[in-house]
Chains A and B, each alone.
Chain A
Amino acid sequence: MRDLARHRLFWPVLALVLLLAVNVAATPSFLQIRMQDGHLYGSLVDIARNGAPVLLVALGMTLVIATRGIDLSVGAIAAIAGAVACVHLAGSPAPASTGTAITAVTLALAVCVLLGLWNGFLVSVLGIQPIIATLVLMTAGRGLAMLVTGGQITTVNNSFFRGLGAGYLLTLPIAVLIAMAVFAVTALVTRRTALGMLVESVGVNPEASRLAGVRSRTILWTVYVFSAFCAGLAGLMIAANTSAADANNAGLWIELDAILAVVIGGTSLAGGRFSLAGTLVGALFIQTLSTTIPTIGIPAETNYLFKAVVVIAVCLLQSPKARAAVWRRRRDRSALVRAGRA
């Protein structure tokens, strides 16, 4: 039991289970999953499907944070990906064909890789601090997305594209399958090769890593490109979910959700160490929290407050210092009570 409590995923998983328990208490059928028109249907399926974009963005963010960086531009990049794909679809001669959709998706992801190269260039070559370097695209990116869509919400009607966000394959949401595939590949590449360790070493000390023969610059550059690629994929899912590109609202604040997911998962913002499994739990936690609000009927005015209180509670739960302080006080008090009796 004590070993279990010491596992670094113990507290985030406990928080997730508690949150699910709250939902079950409010709606007893919360965990129910049934078949509906040939696909799985239920609240847990919604959480997985709506959580897929958050998980993707958080995956990219995990590696960036492991190098002691941060990527604030992911929300804007997600908006750009949706905008590029939808505008290409809407403007093409065959807007409903699968071929056009594949071109649109490829084009959007290519643009995102370019944006990632830009972020990586600023951070690894020019040595600009990551928070500032990516702030540039965070601000300018929405403007770019607005420019692409001309300030309109671009609506498309393409079944292949729609499938990315709202479709099902073998009864499972396609968005979840894509996110799990990216998760598996990332885990394989970082944990079955030395790449993960090299990323961590760059996070501990880029200069020492370079002197030890690690190509710090290439690694830094790669993680920003990967982060932008993941954000682009997430943006495509968000746009596909409603078959519309909304440059203003698509992926709004997703960078904060992703950073929270990474931190709740136990990856240190100081860099040098990361946990992909933790990020998975963190992303599920964040999405469950968003779903909890309408399920248990939190009034709209107190949404953000509720979210913040839960997040801070989880962070305190995870902090060994905070836990030790609470524990010590309780012990002191019981000692006092005992002394009082004697």
Chain B
Amino acid sequence: MIRRVSAAAVGAVLVGSLAACGGGDSSDASDDDSITMGFAQVGAESGWRTANTKSIKDTAKQEGVTLKFSDAQQKQENQIKAIRSYIQQKVDVIAFSPVVETGWDTVLQEAKRAKIPVILTDRSVDSDDTSLYETFLGSDFVLEGEKAGDWLVENADAADTDTNGSINVVQLEGTTGAAPAIDRADGFKEKIGADPRIEVTASQTGDFTRDGGKKVMESFLKSQPDIDVVYAHNDDMGLGAIEAIEAAGKKPGTDIKIITVDAVKDGMTALSQGKINFIVECNPLLGPQLMDLAQKVVAGEEVPERVVTEETTFDQEQAKAALPDRQY
């Protein structure tokens, strides 16, 4: 029984790889409008990620790109497995958002040896060998952290909610080791150095989830005296923090100022209601830029090593204006 099942499974894999080869051949024959792309997504941990996935899938369909999509559920080993399977299937181009920054050299070497170009999206990898990937398309997380820090420095007087002369910030970090968590913390720290009153008094990971943000904030509210500002590395943790602040009988946005990054719909709604004070946008709609880069890479054209997505920031008034046509 088991033998028969595994035989069937092997058969299915063989057929799959044959089909993929066929796809590759035909793409060589007709031109580059039938590219096969293997995309290894991080997971579906937040509204941002869901919008990112949708944008990639939709654009692939529009552009006639055959997309092989896998969801790693926040685990690096799953992503490595997915990339290996794309190499075996001989896709034309591999794109992925690395779960964490390190540990990619081996699998990227394998892709290089198989002559499959790799595009990083949204998050970068920490490797000395930049020849392992063609380009990195995504936001500049350090810049996002800097924007958040700049806003706080500019609005420092208003942010000192208890008017005691010092501005105590608690930070809700993203997943430990993830590029956005490291960079958003660094950029923020860099900028708030301009005002000696501002200090990060506590920092802990909330894993980019609402539940995590809520639980960590509950503890901070009890262990940290005089919290003036919450800086959350994404909207979802900020939304969790809002619930914890409300349960403590304080008014989010007034008694404690909240700065977040992402600008997903739920976050923007809270911003327009005055519960969040400032959101730095991190644009998830990478689909069009990604497909454009993929077609260029497969056609052998030169692409820049770093492509930054266009992003802005929102305060409460801007959120009210932007909310009606927010897609995600």
Report if B150 contacts A (CB, 8 A).
Answer: no
Residues 197-218 of chain B, each 1 if its beta carbon lies under 8 Å from chain A, else 0: 0000011110101111011101
Q: Is the CB of A248 within 8 A of B45?
A: yes
Q: Is the CB of B266 within 8 A of A155?
A: yes
Bound CA span A146–B50, Å: 12
Identify B44's interface contact among A238, A248, A250, A298, CB under 8 A: A248
20 A-B contacts (beta carbon < 8 Å): A36-B247, A36-B248, A43-B219, A153-B44, A153-B236, A166-B243, A241-B211, A244-B210, A246-B209, A246-B211, A248-B73, A249-B45, A291-B215, A294-B204, A294-B220, A294-B223, A297-B204, A297-B223, A300-B176, A300-B203
Residues 262-288 of chain B, each 1 if its beta carbon lies under 8 Å from chain A, else 0: 000010000000000000000000000
Chain B residues in 8 Å Cβ range of A152: 44, 47, 50
| CB proximity of A253 to chain B, nearest CB, Å | 11
List 5 tightest A-B contacts by C-beta distance, closest first.
A294-B219, A300-B205, A242-B210, A27-B223, A295-B223
Q: Is the CB of A151 within 8 A of B222?
A: no
Chain B residues in 8 Å Cβ range of A290: 215
Bound CA span A36–B246, Å: 10
Chain A residues in 8 Å Cβ range of B211: 238, 241-242, 246, 249-250
Q: Is the CB of B215 within 8 A of A29?
A: no
Residue of B nearest to A46 (CB): B218
Chain B residues in 8 Å Cβ range of A3: none
Q: Is the CB of A153 within 8 A of B248?
A: no
Q: Known interface pairs A166-B247, A242-B211, A300-B176. Does A248 touch B223 (Cβ–Cβ under 8 Å)?
A: no
| CB proximity of A166 to chain B, nearest CB, Å | 7
Residues 238-271 of chain A, each 1 if its beta carbon lies under 8 Å from chain B, else 0: 1001101011111000000000000000000000
Identify B207's interface contact among A249, A291, A293, CB under 8 A: A249
Q: Is the CB of A303 within 8 A of B222?
A: no
Interface size on B, residues (CB 8 A): 38
Q: Is the CB of A300 within 8 A of B173?
A: yes
Which of the listed residues A36, A241, A295 has the most CB atoms from chain B within 10 Å of its own CB?
A: A295
Report if A142 contacts B (CB, 8 A).
Answer: yes
Residue of A nearest to B210 (CB): A242
Report if B161 contacts A (CB, 8 A).
Answer: no
Q: Is the CB of A241 within 8 A of B249?
A: no
| CB proximity of A276 to chain B, nearest CB, Å | 26
Report if B24 contacts A (CB, 8 A).
Answer: no
Q: Is the CB of B214 within 8 A of A241?
A: yes
| CB proximity of A334 to chain B, nearest CB, Å | 41
| CB proximity of B47 to chain A, nearest CB, Å | 6
Within 8 A of B (CB), among A277-336: 290-291, 293-298, 300-301, 303
Residue of B nearest to A242 (CB): B210
Q: Is the CB of A151 within 8 A of B249?
A: no
Report if A41 contacts B (CB, 8 A).
Answer: yes
Identify B222's interface contact among A37, A46, A241, A301, CB under 8 A: A46
Within 8 A of A (CB), among B126-169: none
| CB proximity of A210 to chain B, nearest CB, Å | 29
Q: Is the CB of B216 within 8 A of A294?
A: yes
Identify A153's interface contact among B47, B74, B220, CB under 8 A: B47
| CB proximity of B184 to chain A, nearest CB, Å | 13
| CB proximity of A245 to chain B, nearest CB, Å | 11
Chain A residues in 8 Å Cβ range of B73: 142, 248
| CB proximity of A52 to chain B, nearest CB, Å | 13
Q: Is the CB of B205 within 8 A of A41?
A: no
Report if B46 contacts A (CB, 8 A).
Answer: yes
Report if B34 contacts A (CB, 8 A).
Answer: no
Bound CA span A56–B214, Å: 21
| CB proximity of A40 to chain B, nearest CB, Å | 11
Q: Is the CB of A293 within 8 A of B53?
A: no
